[in-house]
Every structure is written in C-alpha cells, then in structure tokens.
C-alpha cells in the first residue's frame, strides 16, 4: 500500500511539473516542440482543425516534413506574410490542398507565390475536410476573421462523398459533428476533448508519446512502403472504396454514395450563394483520383466528374479540369507513379506542379 501511494504521488508530481513547465514556456517556443499531432485539435464547430502559429514536423508514412501555420491556422511557407494591399486567392479542400506528404516548398501554392506577385495565396484546407466544413470555414474566415478574397478555388475530392455520406452532419447548433452520435453525446465528447486538447498542447508526456509513434503506418501501408520500388499493383494499398466510387458500380449502389452526392451538391450551392453575396468569385478545380488513374478508366465517365461538371455548368461556375495532364503517359501505373506519393493517393511534387500550372493559366480569367 505504501509503495502504491508513493507511486501515485510521483506520477502526480511528474504531471504537475510537466504542465507547469509548459505553462511557463511562451507559445513561440512551445509550438515548436512535438509534432503536428499535438496541435491537430478537436473542434466544437468544425469537428477538427490545426492550431495556429505552429512550426512542427509531420510524418506521412516514411516521409517527414515541416508544417508551419499562421495566425489563422493556415499552412504557409516559412516567413510568409499576408499583404493587406493585395487581393487574396483562397484554396479550400482537404488533405490534397493542405499538402499532406509534401514540403511546402513543393506545394502548388508556393509555386503560385513564386510565379505571381499580384495576390496573396492562402491555404484554407485541412485533412479530412469536406463540403459541409468548407462552407463553415469560409464563413469563419470571411465573416469573423474579416479576410477579403477575390476568388475561392474549391477542390472537391472523391473522398468528400464518403465523408458527407458516412461521417459528418450538422447538429442543432450548426456545428459539424460525427453523424452516428446524438447531439447529447457529441456535446459530452466535446467537453472531454477540451481537456484532451489542453494536454496534447501542454504536456511533454503527450508530446513524447506522439514523437515515438509519429512515423508509424498501418501494416498494409508499411509493406507497400518497404517494397514501393518493386510494386506494380498499388490499388490494394489505397482505400479503393473511398477513392473509387466514381467508376465502381457496386460502390455507387451503396446508400452513403447517394446521400454523400446529395449533401455535396447541397453545400456547393450554399457556398456559391454565400460567395455571390460577398462578391467573391468561385472556381472549381477538378482532378482524377489515384484509383481512377491506376484503373485506367474513362476519366470523363467518372460519376464524380459528371457530378461536379454538371453542377458547374448549371451554375455557370468556372471549371478547371486537370484530368488530361494527370493521364499523359501510356499506362495508369506510370501516370500514378510520376504524379503521386507512392503507396498513397496524394500528389507528389509533380502532381502539385500540374495544379499550379492550371491555376496560373486561369488566374485572371
């Protein structure tokens, strides 16, 4: 019993001094300690978000790269400042736009910054965001943060259908929450997450744990990463259902696809109506999924392509189509390997260059 009591006292003292040191440390130092997992936070309004003013490493499989955010929680290049005398171009999407797996120097937004001095180029995206969160976040940046945008470039990923069909809904207060939880359960979870968010940001113990586990990948992905240079079939290592609904008839019959498509169109229309009220232009940027490229399907028969193209035509929205440039080579495997991070669905440096090239062509149109 005495040993047990002493053990508890020691643990409590460790936790106390752990938190005390972090409370004393200024944010400018604290937010450079740990990994981005410590500052990927649960959000009552947006379900999740990345913290502001961080400068931390992130791990994506075997890749390590740095993530820097500004005062608004936007991922930026080091020392990038918003020039209030310039109009701003905003880029909204999920992990593809956020830049998962890639250094910001290789990101399409940095390419735009390097090749055009007339605008601010702002990254509004984050991992696993989808149209309901796009809408809420745009209103947040524009109405609450008072940022002025000339144009919003919106990237609607194939995975957004699954996110809207399975994972997200609005609660009674208009917050984005897990679909399968009741409002009461989500409120209870949000209360608990306030404590978890605090410990993630203010505990060296939490940060040490995240650093140890930061580079871990799932067994399936680990096998791919170890043998990526000799693999000829990457399909089985990617999330087929999440990225393959556009052409797979069996997936298209699932109820979540119908609901996801319906909700995507609903929020696209809300975004468009809202931006019109603010006199802000909207541009849709389309790109094929890695699964569609590997399967060598007819890209213009994709249900995802037809969904977004039909909506943009109906509402007279500018539509940037990068499909052909992601399919320049003779085989799907070669097209995947040249433009994507191997064992992953996200773009590599070459893929980001395709996006940048197409946006630069359309900046003043």
Is 171 part of a structural domain of the chain? yes
User: Is 198 part of a structural domain of the chain?
Assistant: no
Per-residue pLDDT, 270: 98
Query: What is the reported pLDDT for 200?
Result: 87
Higher pLDDT, 8 or 124: 124
Nearest Cα to Cα of residue 67 among 109, 32, 114: 32
Domain membership flag for residue 16? no
* pLDDT beyond 60 at 103: yes
Q: Give the residue-averaged pLDDT of 265-281.
A: 98
- Look at residue 199 in the predicted model and tell me its pLDDT: 85
Q: Is 231's pLDDT higher than 60?
A: yes
Question: What does the pLDDT read at residue 33?
Answer: 85
Domain harbouring 178, CATH code: 3.40.50.1110
Mean pLDDT, residues 130-152 taken together: 97
108 or 189: which leads in pLDDT? 108
pLDDT for the residue 24: 82
The answer as to whether 72 is a domain residue is yes
The candidate with the shortest Cα–Cα distance to 279, out of 87, 93, 140, 112, is 87
Predicted confidence (pLDDT) at residue 147 exceeds the cutoff of 60:
yes
Q: 48-57, 169-178, 205-214: lowest mean pLDDT where?
A: 205-214
Q: Could you tell me if residue 266 is inside a domain?
A: yes
Residue 312 belongs to some domain of the structure: yes
pLDDT, mean of residues 70-78: 96
Residue with the bigger pLDDT between 210 and 49: it is 49
Percent of the chain past pLDDT 90, that is, above it, reads 73
Task: With respect to residue 11, please indicate whether it lies within any of the assigned structural domains.
Answer: no
Domain count, the chain: 1
pLDDT more than 70, % of the chain: 95
In a domain, 54, yes or no: yes
Q: What is the mean pLDDT of residues 232-236?
A: 89
Residues 284-306, mean pLDDT to the nearest whole number: 96
pTM to 2 decimals?
0.93
For residue 135, the enclosing domain spans 48-182+215-362
The region of weakest confidence among 3-7, 116-120, 225-229, 271-275 is 3-7
pLDDT of 26: 81
Q: Please state, rounded to an integer, the average pLDDT across all residues of the chain.
A: 92
> Is the pLDDT higher at 113 or at 214?
113
């Amino acid at each position: 019993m005495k040993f047990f009591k002493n053990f508890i006292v020691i643990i409590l003292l460790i936790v106390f001094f752990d938190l005390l040191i972090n409370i004393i440390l200024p944010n400018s130092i604290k937010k450079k300690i740990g990994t981005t997992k410590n500052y990927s936070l649960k959000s009552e309004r947006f379900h999740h978000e990345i913290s502001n003013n961080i400068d931390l490493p992130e791990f994506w499989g075997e890749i390590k790269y740095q993530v820097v955010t500004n005062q608004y929680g936007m991922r930026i290049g080091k020392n990038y400042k918003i020039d209030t005398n310039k109009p701003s171009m905003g880029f909204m999407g999920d992990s593809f736009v956020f830049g998962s797996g890639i250094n910001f120097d290789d990101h399409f937004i940095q390419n735009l910054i390097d090749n055009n001095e007339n605008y601010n180029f702002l990254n509004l995206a984050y991992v696993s965001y989808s149209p309901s969160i796009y809408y809420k976040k745009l209103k947040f940046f524009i109405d609450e943060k008072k940022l002025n945008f000339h144009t919003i470039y919106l990237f609607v990923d194939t995975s957004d259908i699954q996110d809207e069909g399975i994972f997200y809904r609005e609660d009674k207060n208009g917050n984005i929450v897990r679909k399968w939880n009741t409002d009461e359960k989500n409120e209870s979870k949000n209360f608990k997450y306030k404590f978890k968010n605090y410990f993630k940001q203010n505990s060296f113990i939490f940060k040490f744990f995240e650093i140890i586990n930061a580079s871990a990948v799932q067994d399936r992905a680990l096998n791919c990463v170890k043998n990526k240079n000799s693999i000829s079939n990457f399909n089985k290592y990617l999330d087929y259902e999440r990225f393959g609904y556009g052409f797979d008839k069996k997936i298209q019959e699932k109820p979540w696809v119908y609901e996801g498509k319906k909700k995507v169109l609903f929020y696209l229309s809300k975004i468009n109506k809202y931006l019109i009220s603010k006199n802000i232009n909207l541009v849709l940027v389309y790109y094929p999924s890695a699964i569609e490229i590997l399967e060598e399907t007819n890209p213009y028969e994709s249900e995802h392509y037809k969904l977004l193209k039909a909506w943009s035509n109906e509402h007279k929205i500018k539509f940037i189509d990068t499909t052909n440039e992601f399919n320049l080579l003779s085989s799907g495997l070669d097209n995947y390997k040249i433009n994507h991070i191997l064992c992953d669905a996200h773009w590599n440096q070459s893929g980001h260059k395709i996006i940048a090239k197409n946006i630069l062509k359309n900046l003043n149109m």
